[in-house]
Structure 1
């Protein structure tokens, strides 16, 4: 495998340079920690265009290329900033949150059903009868069952009217956690909510349109195959991944096959190629057609038609729309019948994609598809060497070139991916997908015609899937990597570029060192005698990680609910992996309530755990019990339980474990959900043991906790409270926060600041909130200047969350 030499320097501004400048400016605008007003973006864009045009008219030869690049970059900055401001401005106003609103609109995707709810996207009607802030907007709605009764069936393409309670998109902010607020911005979601007063809901119109057709076709696939493997044929034929389980996705991630299983840019390109090939064959058999339309132009037009058709079948999903736009630009370049390099065509396609949808830069798919094509165009400029050798070279280039991106975006590297893709790409793409599409096309012409192609596709897929499942379960299938610093990605990308240069280029072994900040980042663990507490953002629940120089303790695992949400799986485990925790020395379940113990099973499945503690009488399966007086010491830090005492009955919250952590430079108290009765008991029994620099406020700051005597006994400088944004309990209560603030503590809250970090070292407790250290313009937390701190609240009124 040899890649082309770096291009020679060119005094002129090429299309690739313009595309890079345009995308670079847009990226800067989207990753600023604040929103630029729309009017300012318009002014910046107009000024940039005026400067660029003036320079071209005046022929400023000496600096024209740099002026053009600066103008283009500024234009990209202004465009992306304007779109971001517009999308954020469309979010549900705070004045409408928590109200019951009458909404009418059409279901614009395939509803996702589980045991207790159905979720779907709804586009609100754009008429005067709807709330002004919601007209024409897209909402994510959940319809829960009521009293054990299933919600009424909501079909794709149907028109509904119901009452809903909404709130602006908001998610959790943790290391390694999927950023749902960024996802909502990229997809321009205005609000999320749930149906209220289900008895008053009514279906205004029956299902119709493209989405209704996709839902009907998905049902036909299930009926034709009548086996669990049908879920994969639905995904490949229609982009319908609703049937894929968490285990399925885990296997796909471990084997690096996620990009193949749902309709993606790869499949759109494949269909476009089939259409172009078919037209080419027709033109060869009927040469007279070339007199009317040249064969290359006919092939280009056919490729666009095939891409548009397949994109419609996929419901115009963003990755397919992006690829179709790229194909259309390349086809347009081909139709000009002028010589253009592949890089020129790619550059024009990138510019077109960003012009049409600049917010797509927030998604991983844009970067993986564009960078993957760019690597292949650079490293595989010709087809010499045969099909097998070219395919193996392409796989090697994609693996090395895209590894920095996959690690930075997903925090993992699939070690089995190259091997799995060598089999899956040709077999699924050339056998399974064509059969699935053939069945869909034949079924669209007449009911029942698609059964045999669908069954053949299922048979072909099932021939390989068990092997991929076994490969994905191997401990060597993939590796989770800790979160790296910002400079690690560009260093690794440069290292990949250098490693892929032609043979004979010096310095390749040294270039490998540039991978280290990404693949082996520093975890910056506390020194001997110091410790760190990370209170994770898990919603209305608790999970806190305690680290010493070589010791990791997890205190509670976050909530789990009956509707399928598991904070252990979705927040705690990803955060632990991003923080570099490969195993837990001790897992503590303070008590068995679901908001503290709900994620225990997910954590236990994902990580090795050397020891686990829970109160005596707790139903949670653990190795041993927490009991007052039990101690252990690691790395100069002492851990001791203060509660419950021996023979204390299991009473839920009040029987919860209370852990004291004492290092060389300070101490901390983790309290769980104990109430005032237990707090007063601890004060009477051993007030000196309660003295701590950092305290986890008991019971999320409820009114039945944080007794004044307990607060005075702790003398805390920092008080942490774990709560969910806008929770129905009103936690933390304003009077509780006021008592801690009056005692001199700085109160920090996960609902406002995301994951909270406290380092207790030689400089005293140092705090950081994730939403402040990793600020993004799409953050939903109010930017009042106080960040996660709550001591600015008035003592005589409710806090903003209440």
Structure 2
């Protein structure tokens, strides 16, 4: 019953994320259920009372996020650039979160700063910028609102500006962190950034090559502050404490050394959390370790699953947004399946030698963690390595059982430089072995949705307990048929769908359209992008959408013209996804900025097509694509006017893709009597003032128009352009307002789905 209640609470937090029900109705509902439970028990309806209790936990889970958002500050009024002082409370690559201290009327407010400044947790910052509400991020299928999650964790605004200065924190714990980091640097050890990651949780100085190696081998959990990392540190202190307590013969004879060692480990774990920066992942990991140590103290080792779920309940009560973080999901899934696997294999290893038992246990733990976290890894990282359990057999003993204890001892011991250098040598050996063995990483891999992930876990759990008759019945009667049905539906939808669907992906101020043609053919027209920000739209926006739709190969990748807001995201897609052909115009559309695209095409052997006006392409089941772009003589100097214009048809319905053409090309298309009549029009040039002329809209006569737009350029979209569509009674959908917009047709009817 307890586990069912915790799962109901988890479901409530997730349901509130999807539907965001108001606080008051939830409070009334929870109160009514709580009042009903005693009456049900008194009347003898125990089963109904149990159901009501689970329902109460469900409503409580929904109420917890709503309670946080109820206390949100009033909307931020942008008063222009100002000076802000605050302390860094979270730090990651490309972003910081500070607790504002000045001006005083904003004291206590948490604000996001997008910056690569090398400031650490506890540092005091002075920032010059404009304070504003967090801008909603890309709203696409299978993407939870990042803005909602940040608000749930208490961050309601961001500062757009620059960090003027950063001073080391004055707290005692900040001084300890600097002292320990200095000891590592002064020791002259190899791989000092990795040693600092292992000992004080400082991952800021890890280089991209190291991160990539550990990611591709499935061993990145070793470098991150997570449950497994804290388990290693807690295990180190537990071993020392137990060794000390075993010196007392009376305690050893009573077997109390384990219990008291567990109790003694708790303050050291809390101290490590403080040294590691007290970030939310470290606090979550500490809660899990403390609960487990308390269970050991009270000799409740057999209740580890209940202890795990208790830690989940406590964490989500305090930090409900943790449910949506990769670190929490990975830690919970790995620990759960390691516990269950341990229960299965422990009786089988009783008669084996200690060395064999240790090795087989290590293999089993690696397999359990790999298999148990697979859906989470695929969802968040879009790739996995089926050999990761092998690499963990190498990396975990060397890094966790040898290097980390050596480094921790080196920080504590008076003359620990030798131990720190020895720790660095062990890391050098580990990295060398991983570089030699690094094979098998699969990217991109399909991204599961929530029902698919739950079905996967249901199949795993029923297989774990398959020896029990009721579980065997559930597996063969419920789980296995659902697996077959889900696989069949996914296959049918992916390869045997007869509709033509176009998804206008929300990429901000840019274009990206995914075309799903009949017969499983897939085209990507443009890929969005940003100028000079370092943000990879292809990796972070386009790829997750494709993989959520189970697309790892595209038949065509099309670039209408080589401006960054159209071509930026295509570089990543062309480099990592299967692509059968690349399509772009020749002539003025060829720019030096496309050289890396040409290099990628040549390296991967992707054919490049350069269509001309009047070219037509037959697509499966009667659908087709034609090129309407005027001949080269009508091109102007503007790359926008050199955009590739395409028209796709199925039956009586058609879609017109216009790139960023302006009024000159619109007039040329009308004069050339191009077949412009289309059911759906992609609004040219993001709705700029000098496009979408009244004559052009009348020539197209669309049933609806889609505007791909986002913040970034003043005057786009132009009010005059919006007014022209309104005057002609053309329904206008906008990605900045509606999120991703998907329009489908069977050749006769049109259906429109909005993400927001």
Same fold by TM-score, threshold 0.5 exceeded?
Answer: yes
Q: Aligned-pair distance for 1:671?
A: 0.8
Render the CA deviation track for 1:270-301: whole Å, top value 9, x for unaligned. Answer: 22222222222112113467899953442122
Residue in structure 1 matched with residue 507 of structure 2 by the alignment:
538
Report if aligned partners of 1:411, 1:578 keep a CA contact under 8 Å in 2.
Answer: no
Report the CA distance shift for 1:458/1:542 in structure 2 as closer, same or farther (over 3 A). farther
Shift in alpha-carbon separation, 1:658–1:575, aligned structure 2, 3 A: same
| 1:392 paired residue number | 363
Counterpart for residue 265 of structure 1: 227
| CA distance 1:179–1:519, shift in 2 (3 Å) | farther
Secondary structure of 2:19's partner? coil
SS at match of 2:631: coil
TM-fit CA distance, 1:88: 3.3
Match of 1:681? 668
CA contact (8 A) 1:48 1:74 kept: yes
CA positional deviation for 1:696: 0.8
**Structure 1 residue 310: deviation in Å?**
1.9
Aligned partners of 1:434, 1:181: CA distance in 2, in Å? 40
Verify the 8 A CA contact 1:21 1:70 in the aligned structure 2: no
In the other structure, the counterpart of 1:672 is: 659
CA distance in structure 2 between the aligned counterparts of 1:516 and 1:313, rounded to whole angstroms: 49
In structure 2, distance between residues paired with 1:582 and 1:590: 22
Corresponding residue of 1:10: none
Q: Does residue 474 of structure 2 align to residue 492 of structure 1?
A: no
| Alpha-carbon distance in 2 for matches of 1:362, 1:705 | 42
- Asked if residue 570 in structure 1 is aligned to residue 540 in structure 2, the reply is yes
Q: State whether residues 697 and 719 of structure 1, in contact with CA within 8 Å, keep that contact through their aligned partners in structure 2.
A: yes
Deviation per CA, 1:255-277: give whole Å up to 9, x if none.
32232221211121222222222
Q: Which residue of 2 aligns with 1:173?
A: 139
Q: CA deviation at 1:606?
A: 1.0
Distance 2:320 2:403 in 1: 34
Per-residue Cα deviation, 1:721-780 (whole angstroms, up to 9, x for no partner): 1112x4332422232122223323221111122222111323422111223xxxxxxxxx
Whole-Å Cα distance in 2 between the matches of residues 123 and 257 of structure 1? 33
Q: State the shift of 1:697 in Å.
A: 0.4
Residues 1:586 and 1:413: Cα distance change in structure 2 (over 3 Å): same
- Select the residue among 69, 85, 96 that pairs with 1:88: 69
Task: Quote how far apart the aligned CAs of 1:21 are.
Answer: 4.0
Structure 2: gaps of 5 or more residues: 350-356, 599-607
Distance apart, 1:92 and its partner CA: 6.2
* 2:86 alignment partner in structure 1: 105
| Counterpart selection for 1:661 from 648, 654, 657 | 648
Cα gap change, 1:535/1:243 in structure 2, threshold over 3 Å: closer, same or farther?
farther
> Could you say if the C-alpha distance between residues 284 and 247 of structure 1 is closer, same or farther in structure 2, counting changes exceeding 3 Å?
closer
Matched, 1:130 2:104: yes
CA distance in 1, matches of 2:119, 2:461: 52
Structure 2 partner of 1:188: 154
1:450-469 alignment runs, 5 A limit: 450-469=416-435
Say which SS state the counterpart of residue 114 (structure 2) adopts.
Answer: strand
Q: Using the alignment, how far apart are the partners of 1:426 and 1:266 within structure 2? A: 13
**CA–CA distance in 2 between the matches of 1:634 and 1:339?**
62
Q: Is the 8 A contact 1:158 1:208 kept in 2?
A: no
Return the structure number with greater relative CO, CA threshold 8 A, min gap 6. 1
How many residues are treated as equivalent by the alignment? 724
The 1:764/1:65 distance shift into structure 2, 3 A limit, reads: closer
1:387-426, Cα deviation, whole Å (9 max, x unpaired): 2222223333334444344445555443222222222222
Question: CA offset at residue 361 of structure 1?
Answer: 2.1
Instruction: Check whether the contact 1:101–1:164 (CA below 8 A) recurs between aligned residues.
Output: yes
Secondary structure of 1:308's match?
Answer: helix
Match of 1:759 among 713, 724, 744: 744
Cα offsets for 1:141-171 (capped at 9, x unmatched): 1359xxxxxx898885225364433222521
Shift of 1:247: 5.4
After superposition, the Cα gap between the structure-2 partners of 1:735 and 1:207, relative to the gap in structure 1 and judged at 3 Å, is farther
1:621-700 superposed matches below 5 A? 621=595, 622=598, 623-635=608-620, 636-647=622-633, 648=635, 651-687=638-674, 689-700=675-686
Structure 1 residues 337 and 543: alpha-carbon distance in aligned structure 2, compared to 1, 3 A threshold: closer
- Deviation by residue 1:8-31 (Cα, 9 ceiling, x = unmatched): xxxxx5x43443444444444x34
Give me the TM-score of the superposition, normalised by structure 2: 0.86
Match of 2:603 in 1: none
Is 1:357 paired with 2:327? Answer: no
Which deviates further from its counterpart, 201-210 or 531-540? 201-210
Aligned mates of 2:390, 2:31 — CA distance in 1: 50
Return the offset for 1:470: 5.7
- C-alpha change, 1:212 and 1:427, in structure 2 (3 Å) is same
How far 1:717 sits from its partner (Å)? 1.1
CA contact (8 A) 2:98 2:110 kept: yes
Q: Against the structure 1 CA distance between its residues 204 and 553, is the aligned structure 2 distance closer, same or farther, given a 3 Å change threshold?
A: closer
Tell me how far apart the structure 2 counterparts of residues 410 and 594 of structure 1 sit (CA, whole Å): 25
CA drift of 1:643 comes to 1.6
Residue 25 to residue 564, structure 1, CA distance change in 2 (3 Å) = closer
1:717 alignment partner in structure 2: 703
Change in 2 beyond 3 A, CA 1:203/1:317: closer
Aligned residues of 1:439 and 1:454 also touching (Cα < 8 A): yes
2:728 to 730, 743, 762: 743
Assess if the C-alpha contact under 8 Å between 2:64 and 2:317 holds in 1.
Answer: no
CA RMSD of aligned residues (A): 3.5
Whether the aligned pair in 2 keeps the contact of 1:757 and 1:767 (CA below 8 Å) is yes
- Residue 562 of structure 1 aligns to a residue whose secondary structure is coil
Tell me which of 70, 75, 83 is aligned to 2:52. Answer: 70
Query: What secondary structure does 2:726 align onto?
Result: helix
Correspondent of 1:432 among 398, 403, 417: 403
Distance 2:403 2:198 in 1: 8
> Structure 1 residues 112 and 340 mapped into 2: Cα distance closer, same or farther (>3 Å)?
closer
- In 2, the alpha carbon distance for the partners of 1:238 and 1:517 equals 48
Q: Distance in 2 between matches of 1:98 and 1:172?
A: 26
Q: Which of 97, 101, 114 does residue 142 from structure 1 map onto? A: 114
**CA distance in 2 between partners of 1:308 and 1:365 (Å):** 19
Are 2:200 and 2:275, in contact at CA under 8 Å, matched by a contact in 1? Answer: yes
The answer (yes or no) to whether the contact 2:528–2:537 under 8 Å persists in 1 is yes
Q: Residues 488-532 of structure 1: CA distance to partner in whole angstroms, max 9, x if unpaired?
A: 233222211222235596677886665456778347248687422
Moved more, 606-615 or 208-217: 208-217
Kindly indicate whether the alpha-carbon contact (under 8 Å) linking 1:566 and 1:599 is maintained by their aligned counterparts in 2.
yes
1:243 aligns with 2:205: yes
Report what 1:770 is aligned to: 755
Is 484-493 or 244-253 further displaced after alignment?
A: 244-253
Contact 1:175–1:579, Cα closer than 8 Å, also in 2: no
Decide whether the 8 Å contact of 2:152 with 2:321 is kept in 1: yes
**CA-to-partner distance for each residue in 1:605-649, whole Å, 9 max, x for gaps?**
112333223332321245343432222212122222222413545
Give SS of 2:646's match: strand
* Aligned partner of residue 104 in structure 1, secondary structure: strand
